[in-house]
Amino acid sequence: MEKSKIKIDIKNCLACGGCISVCLQDAIYMISSKANLDDKKCIRCGICIKTCPIGAIQESK
């Protein structure tokens, strides 16, 4: 079964950069103080989801 896509809810992101520092694929970039995920690079490992202190990163259903 294909893993579901990961989505960063940019309206909740507070730009701490934690997800960027642990991303194995260098798939997350800060743009205008919001973390943005490059879905083409993302391997859906989910590390960023667990790292977000405020829960702004989720699997998209």
Partner 1 sequence: MEYDAIVVGGGPAGSVTARFAAESGAKVIILERRSEIGIPVLCGEGISQRIDNWGMLEGKRWIASKMDGAKIFSPDGTMVTLSKEMAGNETGYVVYRDIFDQELARRAAKAGADIILNTEVTELIKKNGKITGIKAREFDEKFEINANIIAGADGVESKIGKWAGINTTLKTNDLETCAQYTLTNVDYNSDYCEFYIGKKISPGGYIWIFPKGENTFNVGIGVLASLSDSRLPLKLLNKFINDNPILKKGEPIRFLAGAVPVSKPIETVKDNLLLVGDAARHADPITGGGLTTSLEGGKIAGETIGKSVEKQSFDKETLSSYETRWKEAFGTKLIRDYIVKEIMLDFDDKTLNMLADSLKDYKFEEFSTLSLVKALVIKHPTLLMKLTPLLKLTDKSLKKA
Residues in contact with partner 1 by CB under 8 A are 14-18, 20-24, 26, 30-31, 33, 47, 49-55, 57-58
Q: Which of 46, 14, 33, 26 is nearest to 60 (CA)?
A: 46
The residue (of 1 and 55) whose beta carbon lies closer to partner 1 is 55
* Minimum separation from the CB atom of position 11 to partner 1 (A): 14
Q: Are 42 and 35 a contacting pair, CB within 8 Å?
A: no
The residue (of 24 and 43) whose beta carbon lies closer to partner 1 is 24
| Conformational region of residue 49, where left means phi above 0, alpha means psi within -120 to 50, and beta covers everything else | alpha
* Minimum separation from the CB atom of position 59 to partner 1 (A): 10
